[in-house]
Amino acid sequence: MEARHVLQAGRYGPESGLAGGGGPLHPYQHRPPLLCSLREVSAMPLLETCTDHVRGEAFFTITAAETWSIAMVKRLKAKYPEEVEIRITNPDGSMVARLPFAWMRIVPKKAISEEHRAKLADVLSRSRATGGNTPNSGEQATLHTGIPQA
């Protein structure tokens, strides 16, 4: 008989009949844990994006298994073929790549008040109405200096 593994951590009540029972159910637990075999666990896709950097190296390594990170690495490779090295692409589409360390950044989300957000939205909508900032525009806007151009 194949061993079964609990994928959900925590304690379960005596009514669950699972190992580790006897403790109270977690307040947010509303369903029994998912049981599956080790073979099934190893077949599950691991969707994560990891970065690794060794101090002193001029590059960092990214392991990309999420759709957004795979697409980002491919876009960067197309735009900067000399600087991005895709080391391996796996059959499931995940990849390992090297990128310049200078590109590695952690950017926290800005805390913007609702009033400031509304003001920015108003400025953006007025700018788009005048044609100065159209979304997804690949064309450069002409500079309006107020001087007639010949």
Quick one: three-class SS letters along 9-78? CCCCCHHHCCCCCCCCCCCCCCCCCCEEEHHHHHHCCCCCEEEECCCCCCEEEEEECCHHHHHHHHHHHH
Q: What is the mean pLDDT of residues 115-130?
A: 90
pLDDT in tens, 73-120: 999 999 999 999 999 998 888 999 999 999 998 888 888 899 999 999
Q: Is the pTM of this model over 0.75?
A: no
